Structure 1
Amino acid sequence: MTGVAEAGPPRNHQCISPIFLGGSEQWRDLNQRYGVSERIIGPPAPATDDIADPPGGPGCRTALVGDQWVRAVPPWITATETEQEAFITNFKSARYVIDAGTPQEQSVTAGPEILRSGIVPDDVQPPATRGLPFVVPVSPVFHPLRPGTHTSTLFVDMNEKVCTGRGPAPGLSTDCLEAGESEYPIIDNGPFTVLTGPPPPTA
């Protein structure tokens, strides 16, 4: 895949949340929310009747050759701060498997330092998440990848079983994680693409 005819993402890095819309620019822009200057390969973009795709298309699923990148996933939203603290306390590590099952497969493990936590703002969509605590693993910075299609799978290792206390968060398929290592339950963990660059300007 050369990618020369593909419309790539802009060189400036801005990943607009495809799951939670509304709120301040700092909330919508995942780079601002998580303090990340590199390209974000983001969460999925489940189609719903009340949440439109953000500008530039869903999911932050493209990067350019040479981009360092960070993997972001849908946050673990809890009913109370008690469940939020249970996730943080029981989180041992995250393991990111890039291009699983290929000759290029690589695995990177990170500890609790990658966790970000906070409260969902009161003016975001969907309304059922407003004012609730959240915690989310945000990966370390990964090296640039070759052009083509890639995958990134996140596994989390927990000391004990943890649950949200409120049902699955948007973009996630379950509300509990078992003790030990398990795959983080992203509903749509599709591949992403690395392009050689945006198309050349027309004369």
Structure 2
Amino acid sequence: MTTAVLRSARAAAILTTLGLSLGLMTGIAEAGPPRDRQCISPIFLGGSEQWRDLNQRYDVRERIIGPPAPATDDIPDPPGGPGCRTALPGEKWVRAVPPWITASETEQAAFLANFKSARYVIDAGTAHERSIMAGPEILQSGTIPGDVLPPETRGLPFVVPVSPVFRPLRPGTHTSTLYVTMNERVCTGRGPAPGLSADCLEAGESAYPIIDNGPFTVLTGPPPPPYDAVP
């Protein structure tokens, strides 16, 4: 066999191997989250599409990661599973958490006035641990629509920290923990909101009281298409 033939055979073998590898990687990616980056609320159902879709609700184009509250008898799992815990490789992402729902605008205003900062700790306790600080500019507030579930939250004011855009993470399992610093103690005036384990935040820094603060996964596979290529 000539040298040229050997080179051609080796090249064909390499291409075949790459083709199989890419096919496997593509298969993994397709089993993951949709490329349109739509995150359906795992806590509140009903209402308009803008309310159900967290990307629309918070005007976020990137992948939203937000460990959800466990499903209850009144709130079934949304389509595709119980929340937004997977990302494709190469994706920037945003951390969303359950909103702080208050009994009236008085408690909502108290949260807004006393919120000092947020600290997002990514991959705590690992060699890749890092913290990102953010200020009151990340807060979004409003009123819960009158046609969502659970019904006892309808028409109530809320405040929610929505993180800055974070850079992509390597494939594998990751964690994200939110700490908030308040100037003074604040309470909801109505008990814990869905997805939260406490109805008060003390002065100083404390962990935002998410019930289901489990890890999330960045899959192995090809990078996503450009943002402007996604419908």
How high is the TM-score relative to the length of structure 2?
0.83
Q: Please, what is the CA RMSD of the aligned residues?
A: 1.2
> Contact between 1:8 and 1:197, CA under 8 Å: does it hold in 2?
no
Distance 2:129 2:88 in 1: 19
Query: Of the two structures, which has the highest relative contact order with CA contacts closer than 8 Å and spacing of 6 or more?
Result: 1
Residue identity opposite 2:166 in structure 1: F
Establish whether residue 9 from structure 1 lines up as the match of residue 39 from structure 2: no
Structure richer in helix, relative to its length: 2
Unaligned runs of 5+ residues in structure 1 are 199-203
Distance 1:78 1:173 in 2: 14
> Could you tell me which residue of structure 2 aligns to residue 77 of structure 1?
101
- May I ask how many residue pairs the two structures share in their alignment? 196
Match of 2:84 among 46, 60, 65: 60
Residue identity opposite 1:196 in structure 2: T
How far is 1:45 from its partner? Answer: 3.2
> Could you tell me which residue of structure 2 aligns to residue 180 of structure 1?
204
SS at the partner of 1:45? coil
Establish whether residue 169 from structure 1 lines up as the match of residue 165 from structure 2: no
> Could you tell me which residue of structure 1 aligns to residue 177 of structure 2?
153
> Contact between 1:115 and 1:135, CA under 8 Å: does it hold in 2?
yes
Unaligned runs of 5+ residues in structure 2 are 1-23, 223-231
**Structure whose alpha-carbon radius of gyration is higher:** 2
Distance 1:124 1:64 in 2: 30
How far is 1:43 from its partner? Answer: 3.6
> Contact between 1:41 and 1:62, CA under 8 Å: does it hold in 2?
yes
Distance 1:82 1:45 in 2: 26
Distance 1:142 1:129 in 2: 30
Identity of aligned residues (%): 83
> Could you tell me which residue of structure 2 aligns to residue 33 of structure 1?
57
Structure richer in strand, relative to its length: 1
Greater displacement, 53-62 / 169-178: 53-62
Regions of 4+ moved over 6 Å: none
